[in-house]
Structure 1
Amino acid sequence: MSRQEIAAATGLSFATVANLVAELLEAGVLLESGHEESKGGRPRAQLAVNAQRGALVGIDVAETSVRVELFDLALTALRSVSLPLPQAGVSPEEVIATIAAGVEALMDDTNSPPPILGAGVCVPGLVEREGGVSVFSPYWSWRDVPVRSLLAERLPMPLYLDNPLKASAVAEMWFGAGREVENLLVVTLRSGVGVGIAVDGALYRGATNSAGEWGHTCLVPGGRECRCGRLGCVEAYVSTRGIVETVRELDERSPLLDPEEATVVSSVARAWTEGNPVAVETVTRTARYLGLASADLLNLFNPQTLVLGGWVADCLGEPLLRQTREVIAERALPATLQALTLQLSNVPGQPVTLGAATFALEGFLNDRATFGAVAAGRRAARAAKGRTS
């Protein structure tokens, strides 16, 4: 884009755009990539992100594994590694060591490692973002673990801690359905369940960064026990673990059952296409639970788009989407449905690691010491040189 196009798209004055672009050019974040064809006036310089300026790391800590992904500055995925976590009793030290090993593996796999501008780290549960603390993780019953400071002892780069719900929402805002709308809900369905919320084009965090813990709202009073210790939570019915329980309720000897929860979901998806009655009923019940809970979300937030993402949505796909839509149509208010689009996530790659890398990019750009002060210092130096010459 040209400076003029940026000004038109953002509503900023041309002078403001020119000053910001000058700082980003000096910092090497942007570069001039040629000129557009002249239409009679002076050709306009075209600007692009300098993807080679540095690299970003996105880290997704899930219940059974850690995924670490390397991105260039244009947020194009370069390479990734996934490392398993112990099956039970995972300690913070084990997670920290696994994250560090994943980052080191990525760097060792690169001939000329680029400078790492920052790493976004997503851990499940409640996160105190400013202090970099995992306040509570329902997977391992962690409380007040200083994840960022522990990681800082192993990784010499800026670190930004958040949770997967926020990361998935940001990935959708930058690269998916959120590019087209201002009010968005992104439901994540995997071992944990929750929702990322965008209101008026901005990520909604709540007073303590805990907005979106929809998975621990009550769906069935007195129902299944959730890992949080309460009964009847949404997560107990539409997560990978919830789907396993639904299969078990239908047929405790079903060949679809497996020690690995993710394998069960994959098996249900395949068996559904073959007309397996247990798989068909499992998808129907999951959609029913999901539709009931989602209708409440829609009535509360009235978004333009509701996105279903995560492993469960990826596996069960269109059958889950279609049946969930039918339940929502029965339960949500008509006015809520008028402007609603319900869809599966179409974000390329892995939304959580992409969103985590986006947090690192935002942190880098917001750090005025990174380029703003440098650019100002260079301008001051040039001005001083001009006065003395």
Structure 2
Amino acid sequence: MPRQTSHDLRNKSRFEVLHALFTLGPSTRQELTRHTGLSTATVATLVNEFLAAGVLQIATVERRTVGRPYERLSIAPDRGRIVGVDVAETYVDATVFDLGLGPIGHSAIALDEHKNDPAYVVDGIVTATQNALAAVTADPAELIGVGVSMPGQVQPDAGVSVFAPNWQWHDVRIEEMLESRLGSSVYVDNPLKAITLAEMWFGVGQVTGTMAVVNLGTGVGAGIAIEGTLIRGATNNAGEWGHTLLQLDGRQCRCGRRGCVEAYLGVHGLEMTLAEIDPDHPALRQPLQRGFVDAVAAGLTADDPVLIELARRTAHYLAAALADLVNLLNIPYLTLTGWTSTAIGQWLIPAVREELPSHVLPGSLAGLVVEASAVPGNPVALGMAAFTLEQYLGQLGVDLPRSLNR
């Protein structure tokens, strides 16, 4: 690994202080020092930087009978507004956050999954963003940025959607298109990176720095953090677990390969599994993906034996695929998120936990946790808002580590 410079260490310290404030809530300098393990002088210097930038505020002053009073510090929520936008093949979901990353407004619209023209998708993003801002009557001057998650491979530094396989996009300059329409700075990234940052700040990251955040939806993927660092890879394409091999020469995947994890665990993969069990099942007559998944959830609630078999086979595929992640990286925490997980996770997760010991090496099994994400709201939108906050602080001269590793 490259040797860390003093600048790298200072940036890391800044992030640790900010993260501590999100974790602890209003805190004294002494509490921040204990939580971060940084020196008293370092915390004092960094707190002064944040106060000067208007990012922190003095929430309360605790007066003691002896000695100086203690200032309790907090994020200054009204310093500005951020919009986090989750864009998928079937919807756009926009959430307005204050600077403390508290949600204050929301709007969602459906996308026609059979349309993929960039102009159509941009229209949807702009509409959802403007509707969310209108819901909180935000002053345009308060908007400090919009973070937009795009499916597929994204190059954040260039603001380009490099490749979106379900839309057949190649090198779409999505950031430029959105900035010209929204009149605000825009930051684009991949949903796997966003959900992982959300977990690092507001989920299992509070108990571990090493995790895989597994997203199940139209496509599937895994955001990965190792010892507190978000793994991006050489081209920001790390985490394409959905396009690793589950079955040699298996089902055709939309990426062009055969036997990918996504061909068994993406929504279309679930449809193919159900067609193998019962090709005439009424759930297969649903024209849209969300309708199909909702029908599966309703059938599982009603103990439909065909859908129970679908859940069993899907859990079998999921356990095998997750075990590869664990065996490769010795991941101790697996967190499931995404709209398919939300709909049918209560049937999948217990079955996966039961089967994992037959796939995971004994040395990686001890203490392995598999659970549904506890991050509130939309974790993709939250993660994109956190990335946008990072960008904003950088523009103020308060550089944070490139989350890290951008």
Once the two structures are overlaid, the 10-residue window that deviates more, 289-298 or 221-230, is 221-230
Distance 1:333 1:3 in 2: 44
Which residue in 1 is equivalent to 2:291? 263
Structure 1 residues 307, 87: CA separation in 2 closer, same or farther (over 3 Å shift)? closer
Matched, 1:65 2:64: no
Aligned to 1:302: 330
Look up the SS of the partner of 2:113 in the other structure.
coil
Deviation at 1:357, TM superposition (A): 0.7
Aligned to 1:381: none
Structure 2 matches for 1:217-236, cutoff 5 A?
217-236=244-263
Equivalent residue for 2:307?
279
- Among candidates 40, 58, 63, match of residue 32 of structure 1: 58
Corresponding residue for residue 324 of structure 1: 352
CA distance in 2 between partners of 1:188 and 1:206 (Å): 18
Distance, in Å, in 1 between the alignment partners of 2:191 and 2:34 is 33
Within 5 Å, give how 1:1-389 maps onto structure 2.
1-36=27-62, 38=64, 40-113=66-139, 115-257=142-284, 258-369=286-397
**Cα separation, partners in 2 of 1:25 and 1:120, compared to 1, 3 Å:** same
CA distance in 2, matches of 1:153, 1:252: 47
> What is the root-mean-square deviation in Å for CA atoms of aligned residues?
1.7
Q: CA deviation at 1:140?
A: 0.5
List runs of 5+ in structure 2 lacking aligned partners.
1-26, 401-406
Question: Retained in 2: the 8 A contact 1:128–1:209?
Answer: yes
- For residue 191 of structure 1, report the CA deviation from its aligned partner: 0.6
The answer to whether the Cα contact below 8 Å between 2:92 and 2:108 also exists between their aligned partners in 1 is: yes
For 1:60, what is the secondary structure of its paired residue? strand
Q: CA deviation at 1:370?
A: 7.3
CA offsets 1:240-288 (integer angstroms, 9 cap, x no match):
2211221122111112221122222222222223221111000001000
In the TM superposition, what is the alpha-carbon distance from 1:369 to its structure 2 partner? 4.3
Deviations 1:118-154 (A, max 9, x none): 1111101111111111110011111111111111211
Partner secondary structure for residue 102 of structure 1:
helix
Cα contact 2:160–2:175 (8 A) shared by 1: yes
Q: 1:168: how far off?
A: 0.7
> Aligned residue for 2:3?
none
Distance in structure 2 (CA, Å) of the matches to 1:166 and 1:112:
27
Cα distance in structure 1, aligned partners of 2:116 and 2:282: 29
Q: Structure 2 vs 1, CA of residues 43 and 147 (structure 1 numbering), >3 Å: closer, same or farther?
A: same
SS of equivalent residue, structure 1 residue 346: coil
- Judge which range, 18-27 or 209-218, deviates more: 18-27
CA distance in 2, matches of 1:122, 1:238: 21
**What's the counterpart of residue 375 of structure 1?**
none
Following superposition, the deviation at residue 371 of structure 1 comes to 9.7
Cα separation, partners in 2 of 1:330 and 1:93, compared to 1, 3 Å: same
TM (norm. structure 1) is 0.92
How far did residue 325 of structure 1 move?
1.4
Question: Aligned partners of 1:335 and 1:39: how far apart in 2?
Answer: 54
| Alignment partner, residue 8 of structure 2 | none
**Which secondary structure state, in structure 2, belongs to the residue aligned with residue 256 of structure 1?**
helix
Cα contact 1:135–1:144 (8 A) shared by 2: yes
Does the CA-based 8 Å contact 1:120-1:161 persist in structure 2?
Answer: yes
Is the partner of 1:253 in helix, strand or coil? coil
**Matched positions, count:** 372
* Letter paired with 1:134: S
Deviates more, 1:10-19 or 1:245-254: 10-19
**Unmatched 5+ residue regions in structure 1?**
373-389
1:131-186 Cα deviation digits (max 9, x unpaired) = 11111001111111111111121122222111111111111111111211011110
SS at match of 1:154: helix
Higher mean C-alpha deviation, range 289-298 or range 309-318: 309-318
**TM score, norm. by length of structure 2:** 0.88
How far does residue 39 in structure 1 lie from its aligned partner after superposition? Answer: 6.4
- Counterpart of 1:246, as a letter, is T
Runs (4+) off by over 3 Å: 368-372
Distance, in Å, in 1 between the alignment partners of 2:300 and 2:48 is 56
In 2, Cα distance between equivalents of 1:17 and 1:261: 49
- Distance, in Å, in 1 between the alignment partners of 2:281 and 2:296 is 11
Amino acid at match of 1:289: Y
Matched-pair contact (CA < 8 Å) for 1:122–1:352: yes
- Answer whether contact 2:83 2:97 (CA < 8 A) is retained: yes
Contact conserved, 2:105 with 2:136, CA < 8 A, in 1? no
Secondary structure, counterpart of 2:260 in structure 1: coil
- The alignment-based identity, stated in percent, is 44
Q: Which moved more, 1:69-78 or 1:104-113?
A: 104-113
Which whole-Å CA distance do the structure 1 matches of 2:43 and 2:49 have between them?
Answer: 10
Aligned to 2:300, what secondary structure does the other structure show?
helix
